[in-house]
Structure 1
Amino acid sequence: MQKTILLNTLLGSLLLATAPAMATGFVNLRPAGSTIPGGISAYASCNLTGNFGSNPNGSTPPTFSPNGGGNNICAIPKATPPLAGYGLTANTVRNIVMNNAYTLKQPITVGTVTDRVWRNGTNCIYAAKIRMNNVDYDRRPVSPGVQYFEMNDFLRAGFKNRGPVAIAYHFTTTGGGASDDVLYRAGLTFTSVVHKPGDKARPLTSVAPLSQNWVNFTTDVNFHDDDGSSVRDSSWLLVKSTCTTAAPTALSGALRLRQMGQEEQPLIEIKMDGYAPAGAGTAR
Structure 2
Amino acid sequence: MSSLLYDAQGPKAKRRNVVISVVFVVVLAAVLWWMYDQLDKKGQLEWALWKPFVHGEAWSTYLWPGLLNTLKAAALSMVIALPLGAFLGIARLSDHTWVRVPAGVVVEFFRAIPVLVLMIFGLALFSEYTNISTDDRPLYAVVTGLVLYNASVLAEIVRAGILSLPRGQAEAASAIGLRKNQVMRFILLPQAVTAMLPAIVSQLVVIVKDTALGGAVLTFPDLMASVSPMSSYYGANTIASFTVVALIYIVINFSLTTFASWLERRLRQAKKSTGAVVGADAVVELSTPGEHMEGPK
TM-score bracket for the superposition, by shorter chain length: under 0.3
Query: Which has the larger Rg?
Result: 2
More strand by share: 1
More helix by share: 2
Q: TM-score, normalised by structure 2?
A: 0.21
Q: TM-score, normalised by structure 1?
A: 0.21
